[in-house]
């Protein structure tokens, strides 16, 4: 499994700002609908439901929202780079400017966890994060994410 199989170029966006986490999730839902044919409301509901279990802001300006969704045939990645960071209730209380969301089929089992681990490893790579923050072209952002070789877990 690699990020190029999870993240389509059309699912990478640069957005100026959002006024709330709810609005961010709505945008992710719209991207999921446009790119993967998923019902926007299903994605939004899934992301919000997962967020009630605990914030998915992992620190250092990065959020990894994720959810299991009915009627989804494959794991789908969505990436948004925010020009103005959003207060996200992250573990380190820092605002978020890099958001990599994962939507997985309800019955995806361990594949969902493997995808989440892959995304997490990639987003913990300081060189990847620096490159993401210094680019505003969605095509370049997609290339950075899909060409990065995240270290494998021991």
Active site residue 112: no
Provide the residue count of the chain: 154
Catalytic residue among 60, 66, 112, 142: 66
- Quickly count: other Cβ atoms within 10 Å of residue 55's Cβ: 15
Question: Which SS3 state, helix, strand or coil, does residue 37 take?
Answer: coil
Tokens describing residue 11: 């699912």
Cα–Cα dist 144/122, whole Å: 10
Pairing mode, strands 66-69 and 12-15: unpaired
Catalytic residues: 66
């Amino acid at each position: 499994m690699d990020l190029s199989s999870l993240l389509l170029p059309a699912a990478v966006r640069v957005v100026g700002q959002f006024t709330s986490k709810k609005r961010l999730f709505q945008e992710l839902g719209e991207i999921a609908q446009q790119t993967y044919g998923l019902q926007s409301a299903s994605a939004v509901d899934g992301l919000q439901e997962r967020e009630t279990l605990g914030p998915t802001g992992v620190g250092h300006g990065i959020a990894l929202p994720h959810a299991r969704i009915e009627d989804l045939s494959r794991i789908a990645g969505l990436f948004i780079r925010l020009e103005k960071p959003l207060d996200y209730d992250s573990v380190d209380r820092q605002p978020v400017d890099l958001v990599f969301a994962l939507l997985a089929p309800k019955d995806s089992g361990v594949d969902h966890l493997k995808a989440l681990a892959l995304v997490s490893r990639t987003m913990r790579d300081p060189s990847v994060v620096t490159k993401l923050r210094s680019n505003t072209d969605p095509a370049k952002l997609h290339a950075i994410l899909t060409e990065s070789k995240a270290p494998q877990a021991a």
